[in-house]
């Protein structure tokens, strides 16, 4: 098969981890007789520096034409302490999600046996954890009307959802649950919010179409607790944009493998794959960042965007092997043992595929 992949390396360590994901993807393509064309494009702080906006039209065109998008990370410290600067990298992210129609953010949380003791949680609490959040990504309070009144002394953000938006996200949730343990948890705050009541009634009305799926409804505050207490009690969770932002990040630390967690954002026009970690500016250019989350995101791309499960499994298998054999970057290397460089990890994976 032939693929055209948009390559958005972004800022900070983005280019370094993307580089390794490209190496591994190319090696997999070669092994399985596929042909990948990579088309790089600018986004984030580097795009602001180059052309003045964080998600240029040319980048959008590249993404629209591609079969999938592989994304690194964006963000630069010069924007950190000024969230009201007129142009910021995050705006590019939000614009990209909206323009590409990436309405569902898929965030798995699972454990790696060899890393389980890195978790802040006790082993017995997290063993067997294998859950997936579907976070709605193009609606809610992120995209509602926002602004100021009263000479700037009153601020507002409007949270809006339509039934159709909830349905398309929930449909993905039900379908995903059918391929897994058939448990779906709808996370809302229906005891307070009208948008949550719309979510709940919409999901309730869809239950009859998926009689095999066991659906539960939990309040966001209760889920914030239970994620820490019993993460392995969940299977698929669906939720709105802001709750998803908070809960997926919370979930990512429980496995002890945050630096390894991949994600996908799927939607109307294309799909995008990215590590959940940020641009880690302090490590930029040092060749020390862990590339595995990006490489595992590429594996998700092979499986979900191209339907190539064997290719995805081959990537996951060699990643597991590298972890078992201690071929890891400094964030995972036990004290006193050798830490590999970012590029060395990539090279080792390619050599061992």
Ligand X SMILES: CC(C)[C@H](C(=O)O)[C@@H](O)C(=O)O
Contact 29, 315 (CB under 8 A): no
The answer to whether 74 and 279 are in contact (CB under 8 A) is yes
Tell me whether residue 49 is annotated as binding: no
Question: Counting beta carbons within 10 angstroms of the beta carbon of residue 38, is it exposed (0 to 12), middle (13 to 18) or buried (19 or more)?
Answer: middle
Minimum Å distance from CB 267 to a copy of itself?
19
Do the annotations mark residue 163 as ligand-binding?
A: no
Q: Which is nearer to a copy of itself, 15 or 75 (CB)?
A: 75
**Interface with a copy of itself (CB under 8 A), residue from 65, 163, 269, 309:** 163
At residue 272, φ and ψ (nearest 5 deg) are -130, 140
Which residue from 106, 101, 59, 54 is spatially nearest to 297, judged by alpha carbons?
106
Kindly report the three-state secondary structure assignment for every residue of 175-242: HHHHCCCCEEEEEECCCCCHHHHHHHHHHHHHHHHCCCCEEEEEEHHHHHHHHHHCHHHCCEEEECHH
| Sign of the CA dihedral with 275 first, then 277, 280, and 283 last | negative
209 marked ligand binding residue: no
Q: For binding to ligand X (CB under 6 A), which residues are involved?
A: 90, 93, 191-192, 221, 245
Instruction: Mark whether 249 is an active-site residue.
Output: yes
User: Annotated binding residue at 249?
Assistant: yes
Q: Of the candidates 285, 263, 286, 259, which has an alpha carbon nearest to the alpha carbon of residue 273?
A: 263
**Binding flag, residue 242, a copy of itself (CB under 8 A):** yes
| Among 221, 268, 313, 324, contact with a copy of itself (rule: CB under 8 A) | 221
The nearest distance, CB 305 to ligand X, in angstroms, is 19
Query: Closer to ligand X at the Cβ: 38 or 217?
Result: 217
**Interatomic CA distance for residues 262 and 299, integer angstroms:** 9
Q: Which of 109, 192, 176 is closest to 200 using CA atoms?
A: 192
Q: Is residue 55 annotated as a catalytic residue, yes or no? A: no
Cβ at position 288, least distance to a copy of itself in Å: 20
Of 90 and 175, the one with the shorter C-beta distance to ligand X is 90
The correct pick among 109, 111, 195, 284 for binding a copy of itself (CB under 8 A) is: 195
Count of residues engaged in binding a copy of itself, rule: CB under 8 A: 62
- Min dist CB 222 to a copy of itself, Å, is 7
In the complex, least distance from residue 265 CB atom to ligand X, rounded to whole angstroms: 9
Q: What is the DSSP string of 238-299?
A: EE-HHHHHHHHHHHHHHTS-GGG-EEEEE-SS-EEEEESS---GGGTTSS-S--HHHHHHHH
Residue 221 is labelled as binding a ligand: yes
Q: Is 221 a catalytic residue?
A: yes
In the set 55, 172, 188, 189, the catalytic residue is 189
Q: Which residue out of 249, 309, 313, 338 is catalytically annotated?
A: 249
> Strand pairing partners for 337?
none
Q: Which of 31, 122, 269, 338 forms a contact with a copy of itself (CB under 8 A)? A: 122
57 assigned to active site: no
- By beta-carbon distance, which residue lies closest to ligand X? 90
Annotated binding site: 97, 107, 135, 221, 245, 249
Catalytic positions: 142, 189, 221, 245, 249
Annotated binding site for Mg(2+): 221, 245, 249
């Amino acid at each position: 098969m032939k693929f055209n992949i948009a390559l958005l390396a972004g800022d900070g360590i983005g280019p370094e981890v993307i580089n390794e994901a490209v190496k591994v993807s190319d090696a997999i393509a070669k092994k399985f007789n596929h042909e990948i064309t990579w088309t790089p494009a600018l986004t984030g702080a580097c795009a602001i520096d180059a052309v003045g906006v964080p998600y240029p039209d040319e980048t959008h065109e590249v993404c629209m034409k591609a079969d999938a998008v592989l994304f690194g990370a964006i963000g630069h410290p010069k924007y950190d302490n000024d969230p009201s600067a007129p142009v910021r990298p995050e705006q590019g992210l939000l614009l990209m999600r909206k323009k590409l129609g990436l309405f569902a953010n898929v965030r798995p949380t699972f454990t790696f046996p060899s890393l389980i003791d890195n978790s802040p949680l006790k082993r017995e609490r997290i063993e067997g954890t294998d859950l997936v959040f579907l976070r709605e990504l193009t609606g809610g309070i992120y995209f509602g009307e926002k602004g100021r009144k009263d000479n700037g002394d009153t601020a507002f953000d409007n949270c809006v959802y339509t039934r159709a938006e909830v349905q398309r996200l929930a449909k993905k949730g039900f379908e995903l649950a059918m391929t897994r343990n058939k448990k779906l948890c709808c996370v809302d705050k229906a005891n307070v919010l009208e948008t949550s009541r719309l979510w709940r009634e919409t999901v309730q009305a869809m239950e009859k179409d998926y009689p095999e799926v066991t659906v539960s409804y939990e309040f966001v505050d209760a889920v914030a607790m239970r994620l820490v207490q019993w993460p392995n009690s969940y299977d698929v969770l669906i939720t709105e944009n802001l709750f998803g932002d908070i809960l997926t990040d919370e979930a990512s630390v429980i496995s002890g493998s945050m630096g390894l967690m991949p994600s996908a954002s799927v939607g109307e026009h294309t799909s995008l794959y990215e590590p959940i970690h940020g641009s880690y500016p302090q490590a930029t250019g040092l060749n020390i960042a862990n590339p595995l989350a990006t490489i595992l995101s590429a594996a998700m791309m092979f499986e979900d965007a191209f339907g190539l499960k064997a290719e995805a499994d081959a990537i996951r298998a060699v990643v597991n092997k590298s972890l078992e054999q201690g071929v890891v970057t400094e964030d995972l290397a036990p004290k006193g043992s050798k830490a590999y460089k970012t590029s060395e990890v990539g090279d080792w994976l390619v050599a061992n595929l």
